[in-house]
Structure 1
Amino acid sequence: MSSFGLKMLALVLMIIDHIAQFLPGMPIWMHWIGRLAAPVFIYCSIWSFTYTTDRKKYFLRLYLAGVVMSFIQWSLNIPNNFFRSLFSLMVILYLIECYQKNADFGKKFVVYLCWQAGTIGLCVILLSSFFLPETFVVYVLTSIMGSIFNLEGGLIYVLLGVIFWLFRNQKKKLVVGFCIFDIILFGLTTTSIISLSLGWLRFHFPILTIPVEVLEYLLDTVIGLPPVELGGSMWMENYEWMMIGCLPFLLVYNRKRGRSIKGFFYIIYPVHIVFFWYIGRLL
């Protein structure tokens, strides 16, 4: 299957998921199917990163698409902006490649850490001061700054992209890496191990109360594992683990580009979301 074929498959799966998200009364199984979309898009993006002849333009397209989508998020108050997640993934892949090639990795890594720590700190300050609307800060400002704060899916999806990229030429390791990732995600989301562990630390080591609260906040806003939402039903609430179902499609990728429709996926993403949001409001 070509890259275009994978993207079209992911698009259909994503639309099914968003129909269930925005239209009332839809069955839960539509969300189960939708879990397969994000990993397929991530997989296609890591190959785009590998094959593109102009990474600056590729980065810029993702960044601008994320900024445009952030204003739609702000207007509709919705969490959907996967462009930001893909942009953050591309930046981290670039850093990993710099490390592998000994291309000033140390300096770039320090700049990246300062950049992200600064943007997260600024967001926290602005959210605490009520100087700007909360939705503007978490959607628009984070996108403009290229921050990892409040990414759709959190850094969990970025980590999955890193796994895909590291093992992109080794299918057996890709399968093992994806399975291990999914098993760990299943364990963390469908049990209360994180919440119980944090509670144990807070109870037995009161001096760690503030650091634990900071960790809980970062788990929610950066990592993508909000403690209060963990431990729910594996079928009705925390079903992200179902993403493993896309693995067969990744394995049949033939490394060919396939048909090219420039800009199509950048346009259809916000358009279909806005469409279903309005339909949902009418219903």
Structure 2
Amino acid sequence: MSTLPVLNGSSFRLNSFQLKLIGMLLMVFDHIHQFFPADVPVWFNWIGRIVAPIFLFASAEGYHYTRSKWKYMMHLYVGYVLMGIISMLLQRQLPSDNALMNNIFGTLFLSVLYMLLIDWLVGAIKARKYAQMAAAVIALLLPFIINQAALQLLTSSALNNPWVLQAFIYVNLIIPIPAFVEGGFVFIILGVLFHLLRQKRLWQIVVLVAVSTFAAWAGGFDLWVNYQWMMVFAAIPIALYNGAKGRNMKYLFYVFYPVHIYFLYILAYWLGK
């Protein structure tokens, strides 16, 4: 795997486990600000912007190294469904102004799904298996079709029919829709590009810079109010990644992510925040 030339002589490098630990630590800061916005400084949220790119990058690495890509993808899907159901039930039991919208599992699942489908299509093209090529193209288009159908449904019927909106909520619990997962299409595409460019670290960082610039443009370049562009600083830990796995604690993130969010939600509820 290629690395940035300036880092080739550096003795300080990060393995995959350490990279994820950094992401987990910074996500705690981010979510503390989310649930206690009036009590903590905004820079908690700033440093949280680098978390999603770190885990999208880690998912591309995990996809490459896992022995069962389908099993890896299904772990993310089960995490998405379980977290969606638990979040819905928790908000019903402890209603709060803090909306439990967090579920990065959906974004990671769709990113990995597209990694798998693209690899499937490339393999079919190389083998000249035309039926498999057609199936792969249809599978690639299906999430976009579902996404457009959902958007059309919400813009036409849901405004006048609360049952339609309720049905959409339940469907979205089991079918992650690209426009409604965290980061939407932008994060999904970023994860896929990390996969396609995984042998070219410099180009991975160029893509991250480009996506961050797009985020700044979409926010009207009001950089201190719309600060999603700060995810560009994820380039630093990504550049320091050495390709090694590190400690084998693959389920740590699956547990830590929802548990710390629910802890903060319940704490904010008890404190009346």
Aligned to 1:22: 35
C-alpha distance in structure 2 between counterparts of 1:253 and 1:24, whole Å? 32
Give 2:60's match in structure 1, choosing from 34, 42, 46.
46
Kindly indicate whether residue 262 of structure 2 is the aligned counterpart of residue 274 of structure 1.
Answer: yes
Over 3 Å off, 4+ runs: 122-127
C-alpha distance in structure 2 between counterparts of 1:130 and 1:112, whole Å? 31
Aligned to 1:197: none
Which segments of 5 or more consecutive residues in structure 2 lack a partner in the other structure?
1-13, 92-98, 126-131
Aligned to 2:186: 156
Which segments of 5 or more consecutive residues in structure 1 lack a partner in the other structure?
192-232
Distance 1:176 1:112, change over 3 A: closer
State the Cα deviation string for residues 131-189 of structure 1 (Å, max 9, x = none). 2554x734x42241243241111111111112212221112222222222222221122
Letter in 1 for 2:265: W
Identity rate, percent = 30
Distance 1:185 1:115, change over 3 A: closer
The 8 Å contact of residues 36 and 244 in structure 1, kept in 2 or not, is answered as yes
State the Cα deviation string for residues 101-125 of structure 1 (Å, max 9, x = none). 2252332221342454246525753
Give the Å deviation of 1:24: 4.0
The 8 Å contact of residues 66 and 84 in structure 1, kept in 2 or not, is answered as yes
The one of the two structures with greater contact order (alpha-carbon pairs below 8 A, sep at least 6) is 2
Give 1:247's match in structure 2, choosing from 235, 245, 262.
235
2:163 partner SS = coil
Which 10-residue stretch deviates more, 54-63 or 119-128? 119-128
C-alpha distance in structure 1 between counterparts of 2:143 and 2:104, whole Å? 20
Kindly indicate whether residue 25 of structure 2 is the aligned counterpart of residue 12 of structure 1.
Answer: yes
Kindly indicate whether residue 177 of structure 2 is the aligned counterpart of residue 137 of structure 1.
Answer: no
Aligned to 2:120: 98
Q: Taking structure 2 as the reference length, what is the TM-score of the superposition?
A: 0.80
State the Cα deviation string for residues 72-131 of structure 1 (Å, max 9, x = none). 332334210000000000111112212322252332221342454246525753762322
The 8 Å contact of residues 167 and 174 in structure 1, kept in 2 or not, is answered as yes
The 8 Å contact of residues 183 and 241 in structure 1, kept in 2 or not, is answered as yes
Kindly indicate whether residue 46 of structure 2 is the aligned counterpart of residue 32 of structure 1.
Answer: yes
Number of equivalent positions: 239
Give 2:74's match in structure 1, choosing from 60, 68, 74.
60
Aligned to 2:106: 84
Give the Å deviation of 1:240: 0.6
C-alpha distance in structure 2 between counterparts of 1:73 and 1:81, whole Å? 9
